[in-house]
Chain A
């Protein structure tokens, strides 16, 4: 039994040596060293690994990473293979490891969720200055000495306007993660002023009482987000000014009666810049030619006159700062 085992082992050994050496035996020279060994993928080594400072989208790391090897071609593996903004925080610093040839390098990247609001700050706008300026302008046009003006409404707007702040990724800036302000909302206002002024110009009475009404209405809406570049966020306010009035008077016990209208045109505009804070802006308005048009009768209608005269040639006011 023992002999049989030894014999089989000798046969197996013989054949195995004969198989591996058989090709070299054909030329009768030194034994052939055989084909070169197959290159294994991990035989190259990672020498460098860089990531952008930040990103604000879901990314395959391989598409944003910069890697270098001691040999090429070569590939690296990344862990994690993808990165994505966190739903819980505005900016998360995530680590990524790249490996090749047994060499691993770890880097970090800011992953920004630009949609993650980190707080809302309301902005209060007060356009009272416009009202005061229009008020003064009316006084200047019609002359002081009137019985005063009554105001209605408010130039403190109704509605809401404000900004959410979040982080944004600005890869070329240092630091690369900055605050971003997303402005949104709309406000509107409606303001009126009615003033009584003595209007001269009728030769048959000292003066007539004119009622002048000015209405200012407007709205302002904004939907803009600040970017990486230093920019202003401005928008034009939809500002409307209306002016009108009348002089309906029967004076001197009816001896003189006037049916006169004030013909006035007016317009206004405003530009509001909500960024950089604090809110700034300018407003301007135009009060066009003011005419008195109508008819005046004297002595209970024995004489009547068609009347059309200009009391003000018009003027642009502003721009004035808020």
Chain B
């Protein structure tokens, strides 16, 4: 019995030593990580058609001003952080491929990056990494991988899978992945379809319901060449304020972002905007609306008209 225990001890020691040697191999200096499980299922994405950049798409059904997409894929409601240093050699799920990608990008490891691409796309990535833009490319992907890169989800798309990631510096990224020899590989994509583009806009904007803005102190009248400062308190920081007339399809007359475009108040959640008579184009009495959105709105939707948001002004 004692001999058996000693044999077992030596066996474990040997295996541990072999493992240690294996992880120190120059080809595999990283830890294999499983990552989130890949559970593709039916998902429905409701994409407002008035989001800037949305294209007409016959693959979706239109409900009022909303495109309804019936898709197969997986969403991460709160996102899944992709940290450098957690690569995966198996590439057995799209998520493992993205984890491997994040690590390879963070280290600017061109061999591992090239190895991540499917056969049909290898020449393209090789050309990028050997061309004048190689430095810019590696700087870009490395910076993104260190900037709180987050996996938002993905959908089965065309002959593969389109995964969307987001970072704090560059914003949204698209990652097209195809299955090749039981491994999920990154691939180039020449996309003529509007679906991938529209879904990308959905992930970028993450649209939430608008908030009508009432109890705002507004002038009753204004000269067309004059302006008045209007102060608004917002429910959350960074939101957009849109001023628009009651004409669906037309452009919003004024967009203001908290601590951003056209905001003259440095305080968060406090917006001071300059209401110009000129935004009404010509003299007259106008009914208009003021609402807050968590994304930039360019085009007016019939879904935007709430009595709580309604105001009147006369322009001379």
Which residues from chain A sit less than 8 Å from chain B, CB to CB? 133, 136-137, 139-145, 198-206, 252-255, 298-315, 317-318, 320
Contacts and interface: CB of A to CB of B under 8 A. Distances in A.
Interface stretch (B68-76, B91-99, B250-258): B250-258
B5 interface: no
B53 A300 contact: no
A181 to B, nearest CB: 30
B80 interface: no
A302 B125 contact: yes
Place the interface of chain B in its size category: 35 or more
B52 to A, nearest CB: 4
B55 interface: yes
B197 A305 contact: yes
19 contacts: A137-B281, A140-B250, A140-B251, A140-B281, A145-B262, A199-B52, A200-B53, A201-B298, A254-B133, A299-B137, A300-B128, A300-B136, A302-B188, A305-B191, A307-B53, A311-B299, A313-B299, A314-B249, A315-B247
A311 B52 contact: yes
A143 B252 contact: yes
B124 A201 contact: no
* Dominant secondary structure of chain A at its interface with chain B: mixed
B171 interface: yes
B171 A318 contact: no
A143 B139 contact: no
Contact of A303 (B52, B188, B247, B252): B188
Contacts, number: 128
A204 B52 CA distance: 12
* Dominant secondary structure of chain B at its interface with chain A: mixed
Given A144-B279, A305-B197, A311-B251, 14 more contacts: A145-B262, A200-B52, A201-B201, A253-B139, A254-B136, A255-B137, A255-B170, A300-B136, A302-B188, A303-B176, A303-B188, A310-B299, A312-B251, A313-B250
Interface string B257-279: 00001100000000000001011
Q: Which 10 A-B pairs have the closest CB atoms?
A: A201-B53, A313-B249, A203-B200, A200-B52, A201-B52, A145-B261, A203-B204, A253-B136, A136-B278, A309-B55
Contacts of B52: 199-201, 311
B220 interface: no
A139 B279 contact: yes
Interface string B151-191: 00000000000000000001111101000000000001111
Contacts of A315: 247, 250
Contacts of B139: 253
A255 B296 CA distance: 23
Contacts of A254: 133, 136
Nearest to B279: A140
B262 A306 contact: no
Contacts of A253: 136, 139-140
B140 to A, nearest CB: 5
B158 to A, nearest CB: 12
B230 interface: no
Contacts of A200: 52-53, 296, 298
A130 B70 CA distance: 48
Nearest to B172: A203
B299 A312 contact: yes
Contact of A203 (B53, B251, B253, B261): B53
- Among A199, A253, A309, A317, the most chain B Cβ lie within 10 Å of the Cβ of A309
B203 interface: yes
